[in-house]
Chain A
Amino acid sequence: MSENPTTHTPIAVGDGAAIPHKSDAGLFTAWRIAFFGSILLCLFLAFGRPDQYLAIFKFIPDGILVTFKVTVGGILLAIVFGLIAGLGRISSNRLINGAASLYVEIIRGVPLLVQLFYIYYALGRFVKIPDIVSAIIAMAFCYGAYMAEIFRAGIQSIPKGQMEAALSLGMSRRQAMRQVILPQAFKVVLPPIGNEFIALLKDSSLVSILAVADLLRRGREYASESFNYFETYTVIALVYLIMTLFFSKLISMMEERLNEGR
């Protein structure tokens, strides 16, 4: 946790890739080396050893697209689940509060892979939807529970006086939440949500065990045909690395822009 006190309560959520911080010069250098190094290595492999590697690069793009779809779809839906459950967790209505808490507790207590299997096959049993949609829902349902805690903490980090001021002006609780509390909480939760995005990007590789042709699955398909296991997984790892590093940079830039407004 940060040493110097900030205006908002810092929210500690692990598991994402390190999002480079401006003040953290060492990390920033590490980001550069890793990011540009990976790209250079990919270029070197593709054009320096085309007979082994070029075919791999040609085989995986639709897998990258699927991974991207699962990640973006997953995070957007997880934000919806998380916001609903997070608001439920701070609700004074016992039933809503209880339901939201139960959701968070259960999800956080079961391994992601097990949940993925369970939700995927449970959905498949009752409704006919495309595999990728089931996978997205399953990922979002799991991540929504973690997201709920982020939203809860983010909302609670906004000083009490903000709600009181909004209520005193005649706003309803719902209006105050929408107009005053959530826009402020959003700034607080953006860094941890960015972390979750990166974590979800990496965890999306788990959907490869379902019938979803994501990046890892495409790699497995190629490897099992060509028997070039080492080469294939080298490329897969590099592509994941480039993606996570790219997005963590993008998120840290978004954060900086948001902070400029203050």
Chain B
Amino acid sequence: MKAASRPMIEVSGVSKFFGSFQALSDVSFSVQDGEKVVIIGPSGSGKSTILRSINRLETIDRGRIVVNGMDVSDPKTDISKVREEIGMVFQSFNLFPHKTVLENLTLAQTVVRKRSKKDAEEIAMELLRKVNIAEKAAAYPAKLSGGQQQRVAIARSLAMNPKAILFDEPTSALDPEMIGEVLDVMKNLAREGMTMVVVTHEMGFAREVADRVIFMDHGRIVEEGTPEHFFTSATHERARLFLSQIL
């Protein structure tokens, strides 16, 4: 890891309000190139909100977020440029239902990256093979299981050659027997050195893959550290309670 280089994602002093409810208060952390950060915490703790702030699906009220050298919190920044470089995988997959699996992967490549149809399709097929679903290239998303849809969604995100991928509870909407296949794809990505920020409840994944675990509660970062530290000797009361309930 290049310790001296600028972080891929730098979140500093971020606060956000929904009306009078404070969703985030003074959240700061950074993600280095190639690092895998897992954010956990009870529901309503702000973990999805901070993740969605990184590519400005949520706007923030205070603080600064810099991604790949671009200031996301500056309204003048062309946010599309940031989003081109940062993939996002959603809990509800959000595949485009009117497009085939292949077209789901080629759309942004041709529209945003201006690749030719042929090039885009080649890249798409290669990625579909990588996530083990090439045989469904011509199918519509509705014909796929949840696990298959999520793998396609990951491939769709990869098709843009992102510098980092944000995962927003990628397995929470899946039936238990399909969680493994999606986590396997994510673990492969991690091994290949993809920069990943993952909001999840999958503690096994966090333990195995994360370089760092961030625990959030009530819009604040309560505990941050290596998985070993976090799972064996969490210092904060709230984190210990959460772990005892979930493990």
Q: Which residue of B81, B97, B153 has the most chain A CB atoms within 10 A of its CB atom?
A: B97
Residues of A within 8 A of B160 (CB): 169-170
* Partner-binding segment picked from A40-48, A140-148, A172-180: A172-180
Which residues of chain A have C-beta atoms less than 8 A from B81's C-beta? Answer: 170
Chain A hits for B85, CB < 8 A:
170
Interface size range on A against B: 20 to 34
**B83 interface residue (CB < 8 Å to A):** yes
Interface presence of A221 (CB below 8 A) = no
Instruction: Report if A169-B112 is in contact (Cβ < 8 Å); known contacts: A261-B140, A262-B140, A262-B142.
Output: yes
What 0/1 readout, one digit per residue, does chain A (152-190) give for beta carbons within 8 Å of chain B? 000000010110111111111001000110011001000
Residue count of chain B within 8 Å CB distance of chain A:
28
> Among B88, B90, B92, B111, which residue has the most Cβ atoms of chain A within 10 A?
B111
A183 B98 Cβ-Cβ under 8 A: yes
B164 CB to closest chain A CB, in angstroms? 12
B88 near A168: Cβ-Cβ < 8 Å? yes
Min C-beta distance of B181 to chain A, whole Å: 21
Q: Compute how far the CA of A184 lies from the CA of B107 in the bound complex, rounded to whole angstroms.
A: 15
In the complex, are the beta carbons of B111 and A175 less than 8 A apart?
yes
Chain B 152-195 residues near chain A, CB threshold 8 A: 153, 156-157, 160
Contact A161 B92 (CB under 8 A): yes
Distance of A261 Cα from B142 Cα, bound (Å):
10
Inter-chain CA distance A171–B96, complex, in Å, is 14
Task: Please tell me if the beta carbons of B96 and A164 are within 8 angstroms of each other in the complex.
Answer: no
Residues of A within 8 A of B (CB): 159, 161-162, 164-172, 175, 179-180, 183-184, 187, 261-262
